[in-house]
Structure 1
Amino acid sequence: MISTDLADWSLGRLLSTAARRVEHAWNRTLAEHGLTHAGLVALQALSSGPATQRELARASRVEEQTMARVLERLERTGHIARSPDPADRRRRLVTRTAAGDAATAEFAESDVADRLVAGPLSDPVAFRAELVRLIAEFERPD
């Protein structure tokens, strides 16, 4: 019989499950405002000004085709606008709209995600420190 008692679960299973649950809650919060995590990353990448789809894909570490879909959705929801690049009319520049600026400010990833996670924790500062140590340990070269 498979145990459903969380106290019996391995630490890895607990961490993986917690990460998925937080991600789902984060995605629900963004969806209520017509955003996705990928869309928020693209909006944040536009903080330094207009950019091409290729530049946004590179900054977001996704393929251009993936970024194209993200930008289509952001344009439909009014978070970005696209216009011809004056330097090269074959390219289009992506800019944040007022709605995109507002969403970026409202959903500064660290603020919203931290509030989302910190609420249920008894000691969010210690938890954060442990996560930083855990991630750093796994990033060390073998």
Structure 2
Amino acid sequence: MTTPDAMAQWPNGRLLSTAARLVEHAWVDALDSLGLTHAGLIVLHLLGDGARSQTELARQARVQTQTMSRTLDRLEREGLVARIRDERDARRHLVTRTDAGTAAWQQARTLEADVFPTLENADELRAALLQIITASSAERW
């Protein structure tokens, strides 16, 4: 096992990548206990403000439409979302959270406090992470 003293010499990117993997593993385990995936949790969160199209959800989640389609298929099979015909455009479907989806979201939304360690400078970390994400995704999205 690498000691904290040895990790102090690592470049920031390696530290961020290692921290992200560790947090992701904890998230996966916690979400799995609720029958959810990280992608599913994102969708349930985005649907909290109301129905969205698959394309809108993909854009907001920053994934490809095909990836969103697979996530929605799984959530629909689990009874957590429903696809309904758009009243304004019969060719289009909107995705909504079901009551079961809302209940799953309510259970999962407090997981971060259980999974992520409390930090003294959490606001500074958050600002730095947002800056990294914005700079790194500017050309991609």
- Call closer, same or farther: CA 1:131–1:69 in 2, change over 3 Å: same
2:138 maps to none
The CA deviation at 1:18 is 2.8
In the superposition, relative to structure 1, how do residues 127 and 96 fare at CA in structure 2: closer, same or farther (>3 Å)?
Answer: same
What does 1:1-142 align with in structure 2 at a 5 Å threshold? 4-9=2-7, 10-11=9-10, 12=12, 13-108=14-109, 111-118=110-117, 124-132=118-126, 134-135=128-129
Unaligned residue ranges in structure 2 (runs of 5+): 136-141
TM-score by length of 2: 0.78
Structure 1 CA distance, aligned partners of 2:27 and 2:131?
Answer: 26
Please give the alpha-carbon distance, in whole angstroms, between the structure 2 residues aligned to 1:47 and 1:131: 26
Query: Contact conserved, 1:79 with 1:96, CA < 8 A, in 2?
Result: yes
The alignment partner of 2:91 has SS state of: strand
Cα 1:84–1:137, aligned 2, differ >3 Å: closer, same or farther? closer
Deviation at 1:87, TM superposition (A): 1.7
How large is the RMSD of aligned CA atoms in angstroms?
2.5
- Give the paired residue count: 132
Q: Larger strand proportion, structure 1 or 2? A: 1
Work out the CA distance in 2 between the residues paired with 1:140 and 1:88.
34
Deviations 1:8-53 (A, max 9, x none): 2334444432321111110111122221111111111111111111
Letter in 1 for 2:63: V
Greater Cα shift, 51-60 or 70-79: 51-60
Any conservation in 1 of the 2:53–2:94 contact (CA below 8 Å)? yes
Write the deviation string for residues 91-123 of structure 1: whole angstroms up to 9, x where unpaired. Answer: 111111111101111212xx31122122xxxxx
Shift in alpha-carbon separation, 1:18–1:85, aligned structure 2, 3 A: same
Percent identical among aligned pairs is 45
Structure 2: which amino acid aligns with 1:48?
D
